[in-house]
Amino acid sequence: MLTSPFPQNFEQWRHCITVECGIPLTPDFVRERLRVWRNPELEETARFRRLYGDAHWRAVKAWFEQALA
């Protein structure tokens, strides 16, 4: 059970992506998301950072990197 509306660790994030959202973490999907999250100049990345903050952006980026590994 989440105590925050946002995942706080890799396992919670993975559950949200794969179970709650039904998105498989395929290498292609993960690489595409990392392409976006690693580029702070993209509007999608800037919007995410404005909405959820830099700490959560860094966490999500790290979780995608962990998923790729």
Q: How far apart are CA 62 and CA 26, in angstroms?
A: 16
List alpha helices for the chain, DSSP H. Answer: 10-15, 27-37, 43-52, 54-68
Amino acid at 56: H
**How does the average pLDDT of the chain come out, rounded?**
93
For the segment 8-16, the average pLDDT, to the nearest whole number, is 95
Structure tokens at 30: 């993960």
pLDDT at 41 over 90: yes
Identify whether 11 is part of a domain: no
For the segment 15-34, the average pLDDT, to the nearest whole number, is 96
Q: How far apart are CA 47 and CA 12, in angstroms?
A: 23
Identify whether 17 is part of a domain: no
Identify whether 57 is part of a domain: yes
How many folded domains does the chain comprise?
1
Number of C-beta neighbours around residue 64 at 10 A: 24
pLDDT at 21 over 60: yes
**Domain containing residue 59:** 26-68
